[in-house]
Structure 1
Amino acid sequence: MFGISPLGWVHTLGSLPAIPLAIYMFARHGRIVPRSRPGAIYFVSMSIGAASVFLVAHQPVSNAIGLVTLIVLLAGYGVGLTKRLGRAGVYIETILLTLSAFLLMVPTVSETLRRVPDGHPLVTDLNSPLLLGAQASLLVALLVGVTAQVIYLRKRRMSGVGF
């Protein structure tokens, strides 16, 4: 089904929970909260997806996205474990983890458009206007989202409310 191998299904289903978890945390907290139950499940799911891409990817760019995702994810979760960064730590953590969600969504949207509906995908060419438009929309969402998150965190800090 959808031309996905059994290992591809492990990759897909392993990383799939990260999407609704990210949406939930963005809606509820305005950011991915790493030291929470949804944040822990997000980390595991993202790790499975990013690590397994090396076993299923057919294009070098996929391996690069997987590697960058792992680095961003580990850095995003690791930044909160150090106090050296002070108040900047929560901003760096937020930006890195939001970037990890973006790096999940770029190949997710791309692969979905290239596989659905089964046998007659919406996109057959990587230069399709639909695919390029979807990827551009994700980039705009990232830029607007990170800007809104930084403003939100700054307002919380200025009003004396903790993170």
Structure 2
Amino acid sequence: MFGISPLGWIHTLGSLPAIPVAFYMFASHGRIVPRSRLGAVYLISMLIGAVTVFLVAHQPVSYVVGAVTILFLLAGYGVERILGSGRAARYVETICLSLSAFLLMLPTVTEILRRVPDGHPFVTDLSSPLLRGAQGSLLLILVVGLAAQIIYLARQGRTAAS
């Protein structure tokens, strides 16, 4: 179904929980909260997806996306150990984990458009206007979302200082 191998299904289903978890945390907390139960689910699910991409990918760019995703996850979840729990760590954590979510959604949207509906996908060419528009929309959401998160963190820092 959808031209996905058994290992591809493990990759897809393993990383799938990260999507609703990320959306929920963005909606309820304004960011991905790493030190929470949902943050642990996000990390495990993202690691499953990022590591298994090396086994299922057919495009060289997929290896780059997987490696960069792992780096952002490690940075986002580990920055507090290096910088402590200060403001700088919160900014780095938020930016890295938001970028990891973007790197999850970019191939997700691309693969959905290239595989659905089964047998007659919406997109057959990587330079399709529909695909480019969807990818551009994700980039716009990332830029606006990061700006909103940074403004929120700055305001939160000012409120705490008062």
Percent identity over the alignment?
Answer: 69
Deviation at 1:49, TM superposition (A): 0.1
SS of residue matched to 2:2: coil
Task: Kindly report structure 1 stretches of 4+ aligned residues shifted beyond 4 Å.
Answer: none
* CA distance in 1 between partners of 2:31 and 2:84 (Å): 21
Partner of 2:5 in structure 1? 5
Unaligned runs of 5+ in 2: none
- State which drifts further: 73-82 or 121-130: 73-82
SS of residue matched to 2:160: coil
| TM-score, with length taken from structure 2 | 0.97
Partner of 1:156 in structure 2? 156
Give the partner amino acid of 1:98: S
Deviation at 1:29, TM superposition (A): 0.3
CA deviation map 1:69-91 (0-9, x unaligned):
00111111000223358321100
Partner of 1:42 in structure 2? 42
Partner of 1:140 in structure 2? 140
* CA distance in 2 between partners of 1:145 and 1:29 (Å): 13
CA-atom RMSD in angstroms: 1.1
CA deviation map 1:36-94 (0-9, x unaligned):
00000000000000000000000100011000000111111000223358321100100
Residues matched between the structures, number: 161
* CA distance in 1 between partners of 2:70 and 2:83 (Å): 22
Partner of 2:127 in structure 1? 127
* CA distance in 1 between partners of 2:54 and 2:41 (Å): 21
* CA distance in 2 between partners of 1:80 and 1:65 (Å): 24
SS of residue matched to 1:143: helix
Deviation at 1:160, TM superposition (A): 1.3
Partner of 2:33 in structure 1? 33
Partner of 1:55 in structure 2? 55
